Amino acid sequence: MGCGRVGSTIAHSLEAAGHSVAVVDQNAEAFRRLGPEFGGRTVTGVGFDRDTLIEAGIEHAGAFAAVSSGDNSNIISARVARETFGIDNVVARIYDPRRAEVYTRLGIPTVATVRWTADEMLRRLLPAGAHALWADPSGHVVLSEVPYHVRWVGRSVKSIQEHTGARIAFVTRFGDAQLVTSSTVLQDGDLLHVLTRRDDVARTEAMFAAEPEEAE
């Protein structure tokens, strides 16, 4: 639901991956963003109206994304998709991060647009320190991008984990995320993504900021 820049991008990405896609928007002119190459279904209507969703094929849908410009519309649509039609894979875009936390705890995954944009900007303005990228609904486990001392470069993931006790989830290398194995070696320029308990983030950050005590 929602055929703005985000909705149209998602629709094209899903279609390119081989999925069938239906897009709902109140404004028929919005579908022009999809372009003539879009092969999916377009339905003009309110995204939380049962008849509109049925026309779009929600009874046979595998997933539902609510990405209109309104928080209330997105949440209502997401709840209708989840609670009325039994769609398991539901996500809603939310501008107010306080609402995002509430609905995540209710079992509706959300993407808080304002928070995400602000965090991305701050990560580039203030490169020092760990940056939380994700947290489980309980808030106890977080995934963070952790800066590291240059002397960690050249060490294997196995060695780094043994020395720090941290669990490395993946690295981003030349803009691409890569899952790691014990033999993966940290290279200069890699972004390091670490899973840890929230109350252990500061300790983990301090360890990576310091020079390793011994060479591998």
Q: Looking at 117, 141, 166, which one is the last position of a domain? A: 117
d(CA 63, CA 111): 15
Q: Looking at 90, 117, 144, which one is the last position of a domain? A: 117
Q: pLDDT (tens digit, 9 = 90+) per residue, 48-84?
A: 999 999 999 999 999 999 999 999 999 999 999 999 9
The pTM of the whole model exceeds 0.85: no
Residues 9 and 87 placed together within one structural domain of the fold: yes
Q: Which residues pair with 171 in a beta bridge?
A: 178, 192
Quote the domain boundaries for residue 165.
127-209
Q: pLDDT (tens digit, 9 = 90+) per residue, 110-125?
A: 777 766 656 555 555 5
What is the CATH number for 23?
A: 3.40.50.720
Burial class (CB in 10 A: 0-12, 13-18, 19+), 57: middle
Number of domains in the chain: 2
Scanning 86-156, the segments in alpha helix (DSSP H) are 97-105, 113-125
Residue type at 193? Answer: H
Angle between helices 113-125 and 97-105 (to 10 degrees): 120
Q: pLDDT (tens digit, 9 = 90+) per residue, 185-196?
A: 999 888 899 999
Q: Which residue has the higher pLDDT, 131 or 215?
A: 131
Residue type at 6? Answer: V
- Say if CB 47 and CB 77 are below 8 A apart: yes
The answer to whether position 216 is within a domain reads no
Q: Which two tokens stand for residue 114?
A: 């304002």
The answer to whether position 215 is within a domain reads no
Q: pLDDT (tens digit, 9 = 90+) per residue, 39-49?
A: 999 999 999 99
d(CA 196, CA 165): 9
